[in-house]
Chain A
């Protein structure tokens, strides 16, 4: 039988050998866990953490991939819809603000941002043309992108002659081209782009407002209508969209060359 330890050496004895009471308790609980962090439990914890992170990362990656695929699919659908609408197929022939005759052919090879409006417009047309000018300025800053050609076509040929167009457009972007013509020519251009235009009631001065579709159209260098932007889109969103179309156009073209 073990002799009882002396009182003054009680503490050290506790550390090295459990008292009979502790021994009984520990046996009834089963094998004891080691306390060391560098030991098996610590490793298991680290492994579990790594596995969880990898698994979580994997899930995020998969989700991102699926989202990307979905975005592509949506983009494809939109392109298909636009193709079917087949806007801007015709060949317009109009007079620019310098009096020169311009046809759709003249604009092939350039990216075009097109807006229909009229010079007597109270607020919307100046706003949209300012926005369009900002978009062109933003895109101009990126020297790797081709320069965009902004175009303004009137829906009010009765009043918007060459002189009126020249006066109006010079207050917007320097590259902005204004196009007008005979009522027939203008009507044909408007119809090409499915533009709605309706002359309102004339007042005593003969002044009137033209109600019309408020959209900025994007046309690619092949003369194909690619996209449109309404009043809700700001210049940054439009510039971003145009940039993406340009980059896609480039990759599509290089794929064809291979």
Chain B
């Protein structure tokens, strides 16, 4: 299966952006965003879908860290 060309990449990224906008708006409500999810999955290769899901998780995690602050893990007890 050949790699997506420029047009296909753009379509995939647009579908992904629409999905993310929906999820961001509705606090990650998967049900409400189902049509966007379907369009995303049909516009992008399966491998890319998995990649972008991981990417979003990472971006959300980063946001959390930056907003909530970083808690330093307690090191080994000093004796």
Contact = CB atoms under 8 A, between A and B. Distances in A.
Q: Do A and B come from one complex?
A: yes
A203 B46 contact: yes
Interface string A186-214: 00000000000000000111111100000
A159 B46 CA distance: 17
B52 to A, nearest CB: 7
A207 B1 CA distance: 8
Interface stretch (A14-22, A119-127, A136-144): A119-127
Interface residues of B, number: 16
Given A122-B51, A123-B13, A205 B46 contact: yes
B10 to A, nearest CB: 9
A168 B5 CA distance: 7
B51 A168 contact: no
Interface string B42-53: 001111101110
B62 interface: no
A126 B2 contact: no
Identify the interface centre among A123, A164, A168, A209: most chain B CB within 10 Å of its CB: A123
Contacts of A72: none
B2 A164 contact: yes
A205 B49 CA distance: 13
Contact of B46 (A126, A167, A207): A207
A7 B6 CA distance: 102
Nearest to A163: B2
A119 B13 CA distance: 16
B9 interface: yes
Interface residues of A, number: 17
Interface string A204-235: 11111100000000000000000000000000
Contact of B47 (A120, A123, A167, A168): A120
Contacts of B1: 205-207
Nearest to B2: A164
Contacts of A240: none
A171 interface: yes
A164 B51 contact: no
Given A126-B9, A203-B46, A167 B51 contact: no
A207 B3 CA distance: 10
Interface in B29-63: 44-48, 50-52
A126 B5 CA distance: 10
Nearest to B51: A122
B6 A171 contact: yes
A171 B51 CA distance: 23
A120 B5 CA distance: 9
B17 to A, nearest CB: 11
A209 B46 contact: no
Given A203-B46, A207-B1, 6 more contacts: A122-B12, A122-B52, A123-B13, A168-B3, A171-B6, A208-B47
Nearest first, the 7 closest Cβ-Cβ pairs linking A and B are A207-B47, A119-B3, A171-B6, A122-B48, A120-B3, A122-B51, A203-B47
16 contacts: A119-B3, A120-B3, A120-B47, A122-B44, A122-B51, A126-B6, A164-B3, A167-B2, A167-B3, A203-B47, A203-B50, A205-B1, A206-B1, A207-B1, A208-B47, A209-B51
